[in-house]
Structure 1
Amino acid sequence: MTSGYTAGFSFQLRLFLSRPSEGGVLVAVPFTTAVFLSVVAVAGRDDLVGAALLAPALYGLWSVTLALGGMSLAGDKSVEMLELLLAAPASFAGYLWGRLTMSALVGLLAYSEAWAVGVGVFQARPIVHHPWWFAAALFVTAVGTISAGALVAAVVGLSRNSRSLPNFMNYPLFVLAGFFTPVALLPDWLKPLSGCIYLSWGADLARASLRAGPQPEMPRMLLAELALTIVMFPLSALLLARIVRTLRTTGRLTT
């Protein structure tokens, strides 16, 4: 597992350094941050500055991990490298986790970008009143994104139309996960669906950590996000096992 993980991590790093355009979403993060902060400033809602900074950061983390890691198996399959990877002695699952970890680390740059634009350009002064909870939200959201990326990568790797799923998932999640607008403000019929998305809990937890005073709901938010993150691991493992089984049965990946 370790050798496969290291190989996947280093391969994704080299791939990103040789093709920085793979993380193109990061280019849009400063502009998206500026749009959100402008809306907040015009509305005179200084209390929403933190949410305006978190929204593009969360979206950047999700989009970059989806683009780099979630499409990794589809890319390997398109250049007929997937079969070679599965035949290698190193762990294939470790290889995928390594690529996704590196992708998530690249995606985390969106937080630095959003904060830099907010503080440097808009002179925003967001205060993290609960820094440990904020750090926990950041860590669990990153791990959850790796887990979700593995699930997406496995589904896309088995699909004929490898681009449709990631393209479909991007923008709906912006709303359903409550990146900027809290899930509590969504229509009642959408709230149960949002509750099944780990990002919605991560977004709520990050926003709560920016609010002063006791926030008794934060432990529940963290546990809910952790639970959803853990559930995705075996699901992605089952789909990866399906990939291996399909290749061994047919000799090719077309389903």
Structure 2
Amino acid sequence: MNPTIRALLHTIKVHMGLSIARPMFQFIIWISPLFLATISFFIYGSESPEKIFQYVVLGSGFMALWSSIVYSSASDVNRERYYGTLEIIFVSPTSFSIILVGKIIGNTLWGLLSMIISFIYLVLIFRVEVSIVHPLFFIGSLIFVFFALSVFSFFLSLAFTLSRQAEALMNFIEYPIYLICGFMFPVAILPIWVKPISYILPPTWAIELLREVTMENATFSLIGKPLIVLLFLTIIYVVLGVFCYKAVEKKARILGKLGVY
């Protein structure tokens, strides 16, 4: 097996074990999805099955996924800095970017599990109907959504690495993203000045794409807009991620201040 792939898989395995060993992360994965799903159902419980699926099942699942992504973006970087291991990881034989990607994938997989827990809870307790008319569209879109969110998380991780206030930024962006990205309601009802912020964030278009592909009359022309915009934003955040990585490398190798806490 290629050494890079082996290192990536090992990082994912080790990081998933370390993450789930923390009580706070256990709450995010096992308990938080139940609260989010319950609140979502109380809001939309009397709506049509299609709307319940789009705003209760997908909405609560995305909130649980986003919490996991935020913790992989900020908390892990901040923890490595606090323990004094951030510089060691950066200069290890395995590229820092590979280690970071492994952490992100590991936490994203835990986030996927929290989404599944939310789905099962809603089906068993609240008897929510989960009907996916176009399963191939949905699965393909879900894979692309996870890729797009991983790219966004990679950018956030590097941006937080450059800051001493990673934990504060993590707490600051977690709940606002629920609101401005339309996890619980359409972005269209937000104030005009908020919408531009919503439209430059990949989670907005990610959940919009999944909602479009679950509609009964879903066609490529309908899902084309969120798909193209999400692809465009993903490319932009790849470029921003590369730029941030170079800045992190400069801070580590030239300025020697990567681990300043």
Task: Tell whether 2:82 aligns with 1:86.
Answer: no
Residues 63-72 or 155-164, more deviating: 63-72
Counterpart residue number, 1:170: 174
2:137 is the alignment partner of 1:157: no
Which residue number corresponds to residue 108 of structure 2?
104
Cα deviation, residue 23, structure 1: 4.2
8 Å contact kept, 1:71–1:156: no
- C-alpha distance in 2, partners of 1:121/1:171? 26
Equivalent in the alignment of 1:9:
12
1:96 shift after superposition: 0.5
- Kept in 2, the 8 Å contact 1:23–1:67? The answer is no
Q: Is the 8 A contact 1:150 1:236 kept in 2?
A: yes
1:145 aligns with 149
Separation (CA, whole Å) in 2 of partners of 1:234 and 1:3: 26
Q: Tell me what 2:253 maps to.
A: 248
Aligned residue in 1 for 2:234: 229
Rounded to whole Å, the distance in 2 between the matches of 1:217 and 1:153 is 33
- Amino acid of the structure 1 residue aligned with 2:242: A
Mapping of residues 1-255 of structure 1, within 5 Å? 1-19=4-22, 21-26=24-29, 27-41=31-45, 43-50=46-53, 51-215=55-219, 216-253=221-258, 254=260
| Aligned alpha-carbon RMSD (Å) | 2.0
The SS at the match of 2:140 is: helix
The alpha-carbon deviation at position 4 of structure 1 amounts to 4.1
Distance 1:17 1:194, change over 3 A: closer
Q: For residues 158 and 213 of structure 1, do their structure 2 counterparts lie closer, same or farther at Cα, with a shift above 3 Å needed?
A: same
Unaligned runs of 5+ in 2: none
The gaps in structure 1 that reach 5 residues or longer are none
Deviation of residue 193 (structure 1)?
2.1
* CA distance in structure 2 between the aligned counterparts of 1:30 and 1:22, rounded to whole angstroms: 14
* Residues in 1 aligned to 2:227 and 2:74: alpha-carbon distance in whole angstroms: 24
**TM-score between both structures, scaled by the size of structure 1:** 0.91
Question: Identity of counterpart residues, as a percentage?
Answer: 22
Question: Structure 1 pair 141/70, CA: closer, same or farther in 2 (3 Å)?
Answer: farther
- For 1:213, the aligned partner's letter is N
Distance 1:3 1:81 in 2: 21
Give the 3 Å change call, closer, same or farther, for CA 213–29 of structure 1 in structure 2: same
TM-aligned CA distance change 1:98 to 1:235, over 3 Å: same
**Which is further off, 59-68 or 229-238?**
229-238
Which amino acid letter does the alignment assign opposite residue 39 of structure 1?
I
Q: Secondary structure at the match of 1:9?
A: helix
**Displacement after TM superposition at 1:69 (Å):** 4.1
Deviations 1:112-145 (A, max 9, x none): 1121122101111121122222223322221122
* Amino acid of the structure 2 residue aligned with 1:221: P
Q: Residues 94 and 39 from structure 1, CA distance in 2 versus in 1: closer, same or farther, beyond 3 angstroms?
A: same
Kindly provide the amino acid, as one letter, of the partner of residue 127 in structure 2. Q
